[in-house]
Amino acid sequence: MSNSVSEIQAKAKAFVDEIAIPAEQFYDYSRGRMPEDKVEELRKIAKERGLWTVHLPKSEGGLGLDMVGTALVFSELGRSPIAPYLCNCDAPDEGNMHLLHLAATEDQKKNFYQPLVEGKIRSAFAMTEPPPGAGSDPTSLTSNAVKHGDDYILNGHKWYCTGANGADFLIVMAKVNDSFRRTTMFLVPTNSPGYTMIQEIDVLGSHGPGGHCELKFENVRVPEKNLLGKVGEGFRLSQLRLGPARLTHCMRWIGLSRRAMEIARDYATNRELFGGKLSEQQGIQWMFAECALAIESGFLLTLKAAELLSKDLDARQAVSMAKWQVSETLNKCVDTAIQITGSHGYSRYMKLELFYRDARAARIADGPTETHKMVIGRNLMSGKLGF
């Protein structure tokens, strides 16, 4: 690891310990949101400490980290549920920035990408649909756009669109002329006539900025200049976004897994019972050991996938393995931490109950565990990949 990356990693850890974790007292645990004035105050500190959009190239105002360096830094920021957002590198904006950097025209970068990088606006990525539309099976996509003069007329129904409430624009996946092979990405401002945010769907976990929303597109007119890439490039571009985005989720989940066990360790080393410290009980030590093994294994899988992406190699199998393992690890670690801390962890005296509610989505979002198992198994059965 280079000195520059290790220095950034140390700065990220210090920011979380000194700024983000103390600021969690302002966090609305039911909605997953911070007061906007507090966000602006803390984002200024993130910028002053050189931690703003750390994932972007230096030419774009970032730190020029490759995916391995990003993994090391994001795993530190992930220790707090608010730190990535304060540093403008949280989902879905982080993934959308990555995609726009690679695929947007100069005009699109000026109107959508640059304000997003500067933190002036938020965005969302609209792909998932209610049945019978696209969920884990993208071939069932129903949203459709038809060319009309210099515009496309977009109709569709999306839901669980993270961050849509309050977003300034959406990246929308839709077929063109009902052809799956012509699936395309459209940049749709949320003030477009015909667009409606129907509701912010109530979920088990916190909503985060912008919630998880149901959307309707009824004859929304999208100028041809707002096509992201070309007609028919939707799924190629989606892989440019979703592969790295799945991995950056893993990076943040590693951090949250560590934080859960840190909370449990602080409790166990101070809790007196059975004539000694809870941490002195062998059964408790084994629980920590099992979680440490899971975290380290997931982190190494994440670093392997990150290295493949950094070298522009096929990382799909490695990303699926990391996403499966780390999402399960997050759930295991938070659950174990609550078991160790008992009623304190189950209550809202500690932050573990929030981590527990949020962790459950990790095994569903960005491809459920079962889909990644299927992908991994098919790749192995094809004979193209060995064991």
For 233, the 3-state DSSP assignment is coil
Buried/exposed code over 4-14 (b: 16+ C-beta within 10 A; e: otherwise)? ebeebbebbbe
Two tokens, residue 190: 């949320």
Query: What CA–CA distances, in Å, run from 73 to 18, 61, 133?
Result: 16, 16, 36
- Helix orientation angle between 67-77 and 3-15, rounded to the nearest 10 degrees: 20
> What local confidence, expressed as pLDDT, does residue 56 receive?
95
> What local confidence, expressed as pLDDT, does residue 2 receive?
59
| Cα 189 from Cα 170, distance rounded (Å) | 6
Do 174 and 145 form a contact (C-beta atoms < 8 A)? yes
The CATH number of the structural domain formed by 123-231 is 2.40.110.10
**Strands, DSSP E only, in the chain?**
123-126, 144-148, 151-162, 169-176, 179-189, 195-200, 212-223, 227-228, 272-273, 276-277
> What local confidence, expressed as pLDDT, does residue 243 receive?
84
Question: 3-90: which CATH number, 3.30.950.10, 1.10.10.10, 3.40.630.30, 1.10.540.10?
Answer: 1.10.540.10
Do 256 and 78 form a contact (C-beta atoms < 8 A)? yes
- Helix orientation angle between 316-341 and 282-310, rounded to the nearest 10 degrees: 160
Query: Backbone dihedral region of 59: left (phi > 0), alpha (psi from -120 to 50 degrees) or beta?
Result: alpha
Q: Kindly give the confidence (pLDDT) of every residue in the chain, 387 residues in length, as a single tens digit, with 9 standing for 90 and above.
A: 556 999 999 999 999 999 999 999 999 877 778 999 999 999 999 999 999 999 999 999 999 999 999 999 999 999 999 999 999 999 999 999 999 999 999 999 999 999 999 999 999 999 999 999 878 888 899 999 999 999 999 999 999 999 999 999 999 999 999 999 999 999 999 999 999 999 999 999 888 899 999 999 999 999 999 999 999 999 999 988 888 999 999 999 999 999 999 999 999 999 998 889 999 999 999 999 999 999 999 999 999 999 999 999 999 999 999 999 999 999 999 999 999 999 999 999 899 999 999 999 999 999 999 999 999 999 999 987 767
Provide the residue ranges of all domains of the chain, joining segments of one domain with +: 3-90, 123-231, 235-381
User: Could you say which DSSP state residue 356 is in?
Assistant: H
Q: With respect to CATH, is domain 235-381 assigned 3.90.110.10?
A: no
| Cα 273 from Cα 382, distance rounded (Å) | 55
Please report, as a single letter, which amino acid is at residue 367. Answer: G
